[in-house]
């Protein structure tokens, strides 16, 4: 009995060590990838990047400070938890907007830029696989924005000082932002690979983002209106939920509305009327998160695979031939 009790922690530690070793191995392999190292080195070396990071943090900090100052009017004791929640909501929307605007600008030139600089040809003659090239470029482009998001974590922690927001909300918002960032980066890398010119790739990336945010929102709103007049038409409601579920803005609204955070901020505004149509509890509980994550994660995998195929079409047949011979063995 005693032996059994002793052996359990040992087993756990072995498993933990194995998991840590495996994870660190994958991390080392990923970030030891020469292309990622080069991209990060190039990106972080420029003064522009350092300035962008500093300015962003300063701007977010200033916004948080002004927001809080205006609310308390210099008297910290008057700060209400609901006001902190408003700040959190405001910062979350601001950060999502930043991700949606900046990501195409960074990621839409990763492959087309290489093509324009005439460096892609040489890169393709190295033993780096097209998938490695695409994933490395994708990771490098999201790493900078991920850093921006992570950098604002201390800023978000200010809201914990005064209450009003629970950690699960912050985690949910960060997950949403990261998945949105990854999805928009994938879309931008896709256009960058399939379109020769960076300018056009950027335009198409912004266009796709606009479709996701604006068209899906309007479509959901209209379908919801139809559904309101046809209470029996559950298909309409499902269609509206699908449109909302694929729109990161509405998913963010579902998080903050679920906790009753949206109304004070967007009271009597167009956004409030739009978001009020979102049944936050329904969105949050109807598998919308599952849908959101599945569509964007699976879509990202498919699009990145298509990019790898486009980069070197022959590689796919070589891969399939090897796979078949491996299966045959």
Partner 1 sequence: MIRIENLCKKYGRFEAVKNLNLDVRDGTVFGFVGENGAGKTTTLSILATLLRPTSGRAFVGGEEVTRNPSAVRRQVGYMPDSFGVYDDLTVREYLAFYGTAYHVAESLIESRTRDLLHRVNLEDKVDAYVNTLSRGMQQRLGLARSLIHDPPVLILDEPASGLDPRSRIEMKDLIKGLRDQGKTVLISSHILPELAEMCDEIGVIQNGSLVACAAVEIVTARANGQRMLGFELLEGGRLLGERLRPNPLVTEVVVQGEQRVEVLFSGSERQQVELIRELSLAGYAIKGVSEVAGSLEELFLRLTESDTKSAQIAQPENALPASRVV
Sign of torsion over alpha carbons 250, 254, 255, 257: positive
Pick the binder of partner 1 from 79, 94, 128, 233 (CB under 8 A).
128
Of 167-226, binders to partner 1 (CB under 8 A) are none
Which region among 31-39, 176-184, 201-209, 293-301 touches partner 1 (by CB under 8 A)? 31-39
What is the distance between the terminal CA atoms of the chain, rounded to a whole angstrom? 47
Is residue 30 near partner 1 by the rule CB under 8 A?
Answer: no
Looking at residues 88 to 127 of the shown chain, list those that interact with partner 1 (rule: CB under 8 A). Answer: 117-119, 121-127
Torsion of CA 243, 248, 254, 257, to 10 degrees: -130
Beta carbon nearer to partner 1, 132 or 146? 132
- The answer to whether the CB of 258 falls within 8 A of the CB of 280 is yes
Residue 103: exposure state from Cβ atoms within 10 A (0-12, 13-18, ≥19): buried
User: Pattern 282-321, binding to partner 1, x per CB under 8 A?
Assistant: -------------------------------xxx--x--x
Q: Which of 188, 184, 180 is nearest to 255 (CA)?
A: 180
* CB closer to partner 1 out of 41 and 281: 41
**d(Cα 266, Cα 227) in Å, to the nearest integer?**
24
Nearer to partner 1, 129 or 276 (CB): 129
Residues 33-52 that bind partner 1 (CB under 8 A): 34-35, 37-38, 41-42, 45-46
The count of chain residues that interact with partner 1, using the rule CB under 8 A, is 24
* CA distance linking residue 274 with residue 256, whole number of Å: 14
CB 189 within 8 A of CB 141: yes
CB 10, min distance to partner 1, A? 36
Q: Which of 209, 215, 249, 244 is CA-nearest to residue 93?
A: 249
Residue span 54-93 as binding mask against partner 1, x where in contact by CB under 8 A, dash where not: ----------------------------------------
Q: What residue ranges bind partner 1 (CB under 8 A)? A: 34-35, 37-38, 41-42, 45-46, 117-119, 121-128, 313-315, 318, 321
């Amino acid at each position: 009995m005693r032996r059994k009790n002793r052996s359990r922690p040992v087993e756990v530690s072995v498993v933990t060590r194995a998991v840590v070793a495996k994870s660190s191995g994958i991390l080392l392999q990923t970030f030891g990838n020469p292309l990622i190292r080069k991209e990060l080195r190039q990106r972080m070396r420029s003064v522009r990047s350092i300035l962008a990071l500093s300015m962003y943090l300063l701007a977010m900090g200033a916004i948080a400070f002004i927001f809080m100052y205006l609310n308390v009017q210099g008297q910290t004791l008057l700060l209400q938890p609901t006001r902190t929640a408003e700040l959190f909501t405001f910062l979350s929307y601001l950060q999502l907007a930043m991700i949606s605007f900046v990501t195409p600008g960074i990621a839409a030139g990763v492959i087309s830029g290489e093509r324009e600089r005439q460096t892609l040809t040489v890169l393709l003659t190295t033993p780096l696989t097209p998938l490695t090239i695409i994933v490395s470029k994708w990771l490098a482009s999201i790493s900078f924005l991920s850093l921006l998001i992570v950098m604002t974590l201390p800023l978000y922690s200010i809201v914990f000082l005064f209450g009003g927001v629970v950690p699960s909300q912050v985690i949910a918002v960060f997950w949403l932002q990261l998945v949105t960032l990854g999805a928009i980066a994938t879309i931008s890398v896709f256009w960058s690979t399939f379109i020769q010119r960076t300018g056009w790739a950027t335009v198409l990336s912004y266009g796709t983002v606009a479709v996701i945010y604006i068209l899906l929102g309007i479509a959901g709103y209209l379908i919801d209106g139809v559904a309101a007049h046809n209470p029996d038409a559950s298909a309409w409601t499902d269609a509206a939920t699908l449109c909302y579920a694929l729109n990161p803005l509405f998913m963010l609204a579902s998080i903050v509305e679920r906790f009753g955070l949206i109304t004070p901020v967007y009271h009597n505004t167009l956004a409030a009327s739009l978001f009020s149509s979102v049944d936050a509890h329904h969105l949050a509980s109807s598998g919308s998160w599952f849908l959101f994550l599945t569509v964007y994660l699976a879509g990202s995998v498919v699009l990145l695979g298509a990019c790898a195929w486009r980069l070197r079409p022959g590689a796919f047949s070589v891969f399939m031939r090897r796979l078949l011979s491996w299966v045959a063995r």
